[in-house]
């Protein structure tokens, strides 16, 4: 078994909190008596950057920066970068957390490592590896066996590629039990045996949001919205044990003075009974804690549970409404009608919860009438839509069954619809999150 593994995340990535995915993997390996360190190069170089670069760093989908970031680092922070490279070379296995936004830089750094060492083993995991897998299988090839240049290049760079959840395949690989070069969705059957991440070797004070902690109650999703790539990341929906989440809150409140807890689940209400237990657990242990999460619209969600969510300290919920047109909601496979959405939002309001909704315009098959109906829905229901959290034109994701040609890049009309929608919500005095208007539009 290799003696040492270093898990890394390269820029550009969201730098405000320590990397949850790597902390989960680290904890799992430690529980199996494998020592594992984390090197967060994203946070390290973000902290070194000047105000102008920091501002660019925080823009979503900043393709221009994603392409240039390594050159910038090598130009301005060569000494610090070389120290990082030396550190990586001191390990037998280096694992990289791959996102679309850091995939270029990850591959470039891998080449540098392989130039310097013939023995080092490279492992790639993270959502971008899943995306690459779906992208290549969609055209009849799988990662690592495809003949397409990019796929085969990924396979030559990495000794082992993990599609989906990382804990089990990484452990199996380190034990020498994974004979295939690519692991596909080799998930833990249950999350109940997992220890909570302790972020060994990382300092919360190095992160801008140092009073907040990200955590997960569940993995996967119970819904199947047709546009969504997030549901493809995991095969099964599973929750952690409530007692473990309570221990996690308790530990980080004490150890690092964390005040706010942000659930990074795809949806916090995948299992209503477990969510009720979680809220009750928080109430019993602490009275309340500050927490926020993403919530799906479900007509079977009792008002009593929403009140309990509020009582346990939830300060904000991000609700994926996506459209107010019945026809579009059906095409999206959202599983509720506009009428049910209204009933749900009313219940949220009467429970005294703070929340905002996200919207997609220009969905494939959306007619002008559907679009106007959706907009009218939002304007009519202003009293139960306290905030528009996010508006984006439809964006295609690899692995979904939808047509790539529907993407905003091919449809000027959906960009115009978005502008019109934004103009209307401004005119009608809606609150909105400026940074999330059109944040999926790639900035070149
Ligand atoms: C919370 C969240 C955010 C937050 C915080 C970001 C953050 N720090 O993670 C905010 C709101 C800021 C955000 C922003 C964006 N996000 Co976001 N976000 C998420 C979300 C919901 C949770 C991320 C998370 O921590 N998950 C929990 C951890 C445990 O999972 P994980 O990191 O994936 O790690 C596991 C595996 O991937 C694997 N793994 C990971 N690394 C490695 C490494 C090795 C070596 C191995 C073996 C395995 C492995 O093992 C881990 C444990 O099982 C995910 C979707 C999801 N459900 O995961 C999207 C997701 C990460 N976001 C995504 C996107 C596209 C964005 C934005 C571009 C979109 C936007 N709205 O503007 C921006 C980009 C910001 C930036 N500059 O980086 C995509 C990324 C797709 C891709 N191919 O890169 C995802 C996957 C959603 C999707 N569409 O599928 N996001
Ligand atoms: S509820 Fe959210 S994560 Fe689940 S499939 Fe729908 S959009 Fe995706």
Q: How far is the CA of 185 from the centre of ligand 1 (A)?
A: 16
Please tell me if the CB atom of residue 223 comes closer than 6 angstroms to any atom of ligand 2.
yes
Q: How far is the CA of 154 from the centre of ligand 1 (A)?
A: 20
Phi, psi dihedrals of residue 69, rounded to the nearest 5° = -55, -40
- With 50 as the cut, is the pLDDT of residue 147 above it? no
Q: How far apart are alpha carbons 200 and 255 in whole angstroms?
A: 12
Mean pLDDT of 291-317: 98
pLDDT at 76: 98
Q: How far apart are alpha carbons 180 and 94 in whole angstroms?
A: 18
254-279 residue pLDDT tens: 999 999 999 999 999 999 999 999 99
- With 50 as the cut, is the pLDDT of residue 145 above it? no
User: How much of the chain exceeds pLDDT 90, in percent?
Assistant: 88
Q: How far is the CA of 332 from the centre of ligand 2 (A)?
A: 10
199-208 residue pLDDT tens: 999 999 999 9
Please tell me if the CB atom of residue 123 comes closer than 6 angstroms to any atom of ligand 1.
yes
Please tell me if the CB atom of residue 400 comes closer than 6 angstroms to any atom of ligand 1.
no
Phi, psi dihedrals of residue 91, rounded to the nearest 5° = -110, 155
Q: How far apart are alpha carbons 359 and 353 in whole angstroms?
A: 19
Q: What six digits make up the tokens of 100?
A: 């679309």
pLDDT at 12: 98
Nearest to 178 by CA among 197, 158, 198: 158
**Residue 334 CA: which ligand 2 atom is closest?**
6
* 318 sits in which H/E element: strand 314-322
Please tell me if the CB atom of residue 358 comes closer than 6 angstroms to any atom of ligand 1.
no
Q: How far apart are alpha carbons 120 and 89 in whole angstroms?
A: 7
pLDDT at 155: 78
Which residue out of 218, 220, 223, 269 has the highest number of ligand 2 atoms within 8 Å of its CB and is therefore the one to mutate?
223
Please tell me if the CB atom of residue 216 comes closer than 6 angstroms to any atom of ligand 1.
yes
- With 50 as the cut, is the pLDDT of residue 211 above it? yes
- With 70 as the cut, is the pLDDT of residue 142 above it? no
CA angle at 306 for the pair 302 and 307, rounded to the nearest 5°: 115
Please tell me if the CB atom of residue 187 comes closer than 6 angstroms to any atom of ligand 1.
no
Q: How far is the CA of 107 from the centre of ligand 2 (A)?
A: 30
Please tell me if the CB atom of residue 61 comes closer than 6 angstroms to any atom of ligand 1.
yes
Nearest to 60 by CA among 417, 429, 433: 433
Nearest CA to ligand 2 atom 2: 266
Q: How far apart are alpha carbons 293 and 295 in whole angstroms?
A: 6
- With 70 as the cut, is the pLDDT of residue 151 above it? no
Q: How far is the CA of 218 from the centre of ligand 2 (A)?
A: 13
pLDDT at 149: 46
Q: How far is the CA of 127 from the centre of ligand 1 (A)?
A: 6
Q: How far apart are alpha carbons 391 and 33 in whole angstroms?
A: 45
Please tell me if the CB atom of residue 268 comes closer than 6 angstroms to any atom of ligand 2.
no
The residue with tokens 């969201």 is 14
Q: How far apart are alpha carbons 326 and 263 in whole angstroms?
A: 30
Q: How far is the CA of 263 from the centre of ligand 1 (A)?
A: 12
Please tell me if the CB atom of residue 439 comes closer than 6 angstroms to any atom of ligand 1.
yes
CA angle at 198 for the pair 196 and 202, rounded to the nearest 5°: 150
Q: How far is the CA of 367 from the centre of ligand 1 (A)?
A: 32
Mean pLDDT of 99-122: 97
What domains appear along the chain, each with residue ranges and CATH number? 5-184 (3.40.50), 211-436 (3.20.20.70)
**Residue 228 CA: which ligand 2 atom is closest?**
8
Please tell me if the CB atom of residue 311 comes closer than 6 angstroms to any atom of ligand 1.
no
pLDDT at 179: 81
Please tell me if the CB atom of residue 266 comes closer than 6 angstroms to any atom of ligand 2.
yes
- Which ligand lies nearest the alpha carbon of 321? 2
Please tell me if the CB atom of residue 393 comes closer than 6 angstroms to any atom of ligand 2.
no
Please tell me if the CB atom of residue 144 comes closer than 6 angstroms to any atom of ligand 1.
no
pLDDT at 117: 97
- Which ligand lies nearest the alpha carbon of 332? 2
- Which ligand lies nearest the alpha carbon of 26? 1
Q: Which range among 105-109, 151-155, 208-212 shows the weakest confidence by mean pLDDT? A: 151-155
**Residue 266 CA: which ligand 2 atom is closest?**
3
Nearest CA to ligand 1 atom 17: 14
Q: How far is the CA of 320 from the centre of ligand 2 (A)?
A: 8
Q: What six digits make up the tokens of 243?
A: 């007692």
Averaged pLDDT of the chain: 94
225-248 residue pLDDT tens: 999 999 999 999 999 999 999 999
Nearest to 359 by CA among 436, 270, 252: 436
pLDDT at 140: 55
- Which ligand lies nearest the alpha carbon of 183? 1
């Amino acid at each position: 078994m290799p003696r040492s593994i270093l898990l890394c995340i390269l820029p550009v990535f969201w730098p405000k909190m320590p990397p949850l995915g790597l902390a989960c993997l680290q904890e799992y390996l430690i529980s199996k008596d494998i020592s594992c360190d984390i090197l967060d190069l994203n946070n390290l170089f973000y902290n070194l950057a000047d105000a102008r670069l920091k501002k660019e760093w925080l823009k979503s989908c900043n393709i221009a920066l994603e392409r240039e970031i390594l050159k910038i680092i090598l130009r301005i922070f060569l000494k610090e970068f070389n120290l990082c490279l030396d550190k990586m070379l001191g390990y037998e296995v280096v694992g990289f957390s791959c996102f679309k936004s850091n995939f270029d830089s990850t591959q470039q750094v891998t080449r540098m490592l392989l130039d310097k060492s013939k023995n080092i083993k490279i492992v790639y995991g993270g959502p971008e590896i899943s995306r690459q897998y779906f992208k290549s299988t969609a055209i009849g090839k799988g990662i690592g066996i495809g003949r397409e240049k990019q796929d085969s290049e990924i396979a030559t760079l990495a000794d082992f590629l993990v599609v989906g959840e990382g804990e089990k395949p990484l452990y199996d690989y380190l034990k020498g039990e994974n004979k295939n070069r690519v692991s596909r969705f080799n998930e833990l059957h249950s999350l109940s045996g997992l220890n909570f991440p302790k972020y060994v070797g990382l300092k919360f004070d190095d992160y801008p949001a140092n009073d907040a902690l990200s955590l997960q109650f569940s993995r996967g999703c119970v819904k199947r919205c047709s546009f969504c790539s997030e549901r493809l990341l995991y095969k099964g929906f599973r929750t952690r044990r409530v007692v473990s989440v309570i221990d996690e809150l308790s530990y980080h409140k004490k150890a690092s003075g964390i005040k706010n807890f942000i659930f990074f689940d795809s949806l916090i209400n995948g299992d209503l009974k477990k969510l009720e237990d979680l809220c009750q657990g928080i109430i019993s242990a602490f009275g309340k804690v500050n927490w926020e999460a993403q919530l799906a619209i479900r007509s079977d969600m009792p008002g009593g549970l929403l009140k309990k969510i509020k009582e346990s300290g939830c300060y904000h919920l991000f609700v994926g409404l996506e459209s107010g047109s019945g026809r579009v909601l059906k095409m999206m496979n959202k599983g509720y009608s506009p009428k049910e959405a209204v009933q749900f939002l009313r219940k949220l309001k009467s429970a005294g919860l703070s929340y905002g909704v996200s919207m997609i315009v220009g969905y494939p098959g959306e007619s002008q009438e559907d679009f106007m109906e959706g907009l009218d829905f939002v304007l009519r229901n202003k009293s139960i839509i306290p905030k528009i959290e996010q508006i984006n034109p439809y964006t295609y994701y690899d692995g979904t069954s939808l047509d790539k040609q529907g993407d905003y890049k091919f449809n000027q009309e959906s960009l115009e619809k978005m502008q019109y929608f934004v103009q209307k919500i401004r005119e009608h005095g809606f609150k909105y999150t400026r940074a999330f208007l059109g944040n999926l539009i790639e900035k070149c």
